Amino acid sequence: MSTDDATVGALLSGLRRFLASEAIDDQLWDDLDAVLGEFAPPPSREIPAITARFRTAATRLVEVVPRLVRPYPLRPMRHLIFLSTEHPRPENAQGHLNRFAMGILMVLELMRDDAL
């Protein structure tokens, strides 16, 4: 078994990508695109399902970010946790979904160099 710095670095990089993949999947990217992309906003009937998936993604990010991002991004993570606990009225759901998507993107951007 090799213990040189290059091997250890490659192993750590692989482990970080694996942890990130546990939190970030194709469905998350599809949902972010549906909320913020070219054909946004999604139909109102899809908002509850996307919000639920965002909550699941936020929970996963809360679990993996401390292992992947140094220093720990306290403000963006607090913001994401706050957004994941909000339950807005139906007339405010689209705005909440947009803020939630932006909060997730902010955390993903912080992870980009370290994990993705």
Q: Is the dihedral of CA 29, 9, 3, 72 positive or negative?
A: negative
- pLDDT above 70 as % of the chain: 79
Residue 75: is it exposed, middle or buried by C-beta count within 10 angstroms (0-12/13-18/19+)? Answer: exposed
* Per-residue pLDDT tens digits for 22-57: 668 899 999 999 999 999 999 999 999 999 999 999
**Residue 111 near residue 65, CB atoms below 8 Å:** yes
DSSP 3-state helix, strand, coil percentages of the chain (rounded to 5)?
80, 0, 20
3 state SS of 1: coil
pTM of the model: 0.81
* Per-residue pLDDT tens digits for 60-72: 999 999 988 889 9
Q: What single-letter amino acid sits at 36?
A: L
Counted domains in the chain: 1
Which domain, by its residues, includes 29?
5-115
